Structure 1
Amino acid sequence: MDRERFEDFREKIEAADFEAGIPAEYQTIPQDTVNMLLLHSKTITAAESVTAGLFQSTIADVPGASEIYEGGYITYSDKMKEKLLRIPNGIIDTHTVVSAPVAQEMAESTAKLLDKDIGMGVTGVAGPEQLEGNRVGTVFIGVYDKDTDVVEVKEFHFEGSRNAIRRKAVISAFVLVQRIA
């Protein structure tokens, strides 16, 4: 997906209604992503904060996913990000936990620690209140590619309930994986 198409996707998903679940137009994205990873024989892992395992659960819902996915991390607290992912406390203190540098560290760390081709990291604020100056709906998603040793991080500003924000973050993460892999 080129930059222009991605920006169009970002605008649409940020405004989309995910209150009742994932809208039909987005429902095949997880399956398409897993199929693409299977086709290219690429493995994936994730480090999740705001989505609390929803991304990994969605991967596991896809038949055949066990060929490309073995597990990952749910690091809801700063302490778990530091302990499990080995993210230096200074990065979190300097940038806040809801930031591009933290999403980048999460994506890269999970892939390297678990020796996988693709690492996805997601951090954000689902509400009900803002966190460290970040408004509800602010989400950073990073995707690391072992082949290029590059992390792409995108910032989103989702609207909706906690669950709608989390669902939008998951679908957006799958789209970012497709861009990288």
Structure 2
Amino acid sequence: MTVPASGAGEETAGAATRVVTLCREAGLTLATAESLTAGLLAGTVADVPGASNVLRGGLVVYATDLKHSLAGVDDALLDRQGPVDPTVAGQLARGAAQRCGADIGVGVTGVAGPDSQDGHPVGEVWLGVWCRDLDGGEPRVTALDDGWRARVDAGSGVRDAIRRHTVHRALDQVCAVIPDLAADPL
């Protein structure tokens, strides 16, 4: 079975356009720290005309040691939990925003396949979104839904589908927090 790239194409481009529009209207900036998507999220945002008013930058932290040295993820956490962990996603998000001077940071980490990683199944993905002055400085972390993981097998195209679905879900998460951040008195 091949899993279609949920959120690919026009749907993801639309989500990226919404992020850029909402951020621009609210005067907010965005940064990313990406592991399994390796820059695909920042690139998708950058494809939107006007993204330069919103996108501050992105960190590609594919290697575990770079999660610490570039994004500031706690080294002890990485040693204890490994890179596929909800707290790591949250720290990636915070690190992206802080290192790039952005209002919103997005962190993504997980397993795109084709093989499991350190006991984590293909399709396990954690998304973190951190916003300045919101939630007491704690990142909001979510996982790709269990329904997504249940559909994943080792068929062709799964790796690409997971990465694209991750980008789409991350954009949706950013859209969900912008109204809260924009309404927060700064």
TM-score (norm 1): 0.85
Q: Distance in 1 between matches of 2:11 and 2:45?
A: 18
Q: Which runs of 4+ in 1 moved over 2 A?
A: 23-27, 157-160
Distance in structure 1 (CA, Å) of the matches to 2:143 and 2:88: 12
Query: Could you list the runs of 5+ residues in structure 2 that have no partner in the other structure?
Result: 179-186
**CA contact 2:31–2:97 (8 Å) conserved in 1:** yes
Tell me the TM-score normalised to structure 2 length.
Answer: 0.83
Report sequence identity in percent. Answer: 35
Partner residue of 2:4? 17
Partner of residue 170, structure 2: 173
Partner Cα separation in structure 1 for residue 96 and residue 169 of structure 2? 18
Alignment coverage as a number of residue pairs: 166
Distance 1:124 1:65, change over 3 A: same
Larger CA deviation: 21-30 vs 143-152 = 21-30
AA paired with 1:152?
A: R
Say whether the 8 Å CA contact 2:32–2:57 is kept in structure 1. Answer: yes
Q: Which runs of 5+ in 1 are unaligned?
A: 1-15
- Residue number in structure 1 paired with 2:57: 71
Aligned to 1:31: 17
Partner of 2:31, secondary structure, is strand
Q: Conserved in 2, the CA contact under 8 Å of 1:17 and 1:23? A: no
Once residues 117 and 70 of structure 1 are traced to their aligned partners in structure 2, the CA distance between those partners, rounded to angstroms, is 9
Q: Structure 1 residue 147: deviation in Å?
A: 2.3
Alpha-carbon shift at residue 155 of structure 1 (Å): 0.9
Secondary structure of 1:72's match? strand
Give the residue type in structure 2 aligned to 1:172: R
Counterpart for residue 141 of structure 1: 127
